[in-house]
Amino acid sequence: MLDSIKDVVRKSSIHVCIVNCGGCNGCDVECVALLSPRYDLEQYGIYVHNNPREADVLLLTGAVTEQWRENLKRVYDKAPEPKIVVAIGNCPQSGDVFNQEGGHVYAPASDFVPVDAAVSGCPPRPSEILEAILAVGPQAIADRGREKR
């Protein structure tokens, strides 16, 4: 019963999980700002939570530290298909300020999981993050509808 309710809800809303794979938290703060009344993320039917098993969209922040080399794929595998990955900020693309000689960051994140969209910036604006979610999230929902048929 609960599973069928979840299916109905997931067909008409986008569930987002923030995955910080080793950054300064600046991008995470901008993602969380989307929940403020100024952006009111939920008006678009987008919900943020911590569980990748419920996610349509994984918002990836951070530069992929040593610990995240294996964990990133493990978290990615927990999200149900079809899923979308959006890399938020410069870190998941290049390592940005953490990409120093002798450092231990392993960006780009796309070496570990498929990345569908990327938003550059250090950090990007919440409105840019929102645009990216709205650009790719509905496709995940549409693909889910096709899978059910």
| Cβ contacts of 117 within 8 Å, gap of 6 or more | 84, 85, 86, 87, 132, 135, 136
The nearest distance, CB 138 to ligand SF4, in angstroms, is 25
Structure token pair of residue 109: 């994140």
The nearest distance, CB 50 to ligand SF4, in angstroms, is 18
Q: Which is nearer to ligand SF4, 26 or 138 (CB)?
A: 26
Q: Which is nearer to ligand SF4, 65 or 90 (CB)?
A: 90
Contacting residues toward ligand SF4, per CB under 6 A = 23-24, 26-27, 61-62, 89-91, 96-97, 122-123
Kind of pairing between the strands at 57-61 and 84-88:
parallel
The nearest distance, CB 117 to ligand SF4, in angstroms, is 15
CA dist., res. 103 & res. 117, Å (int): 26
DSSP assignment string, 10-37: HHSSEEEEEEESSS-SHHHHHHHHTTST
The nearest distance, CB 123 to ligand SF4, in angstroms, is 4
Angle at alpha carbon of residue 4, lines to 3 and 5, rounded to 5°: 90
Q: Which is nearer to ligand SF4, 84 or 93 (CB)?
A: 93
Residue 116 near residue 135 (C-beta atoms within 8 A) = no
The nearest distance, CB 107 to ligand SF4, in angstroms, is 9
Q: Which is nearer to ligand SF4, 62 or 137 (CB)?
A: 62
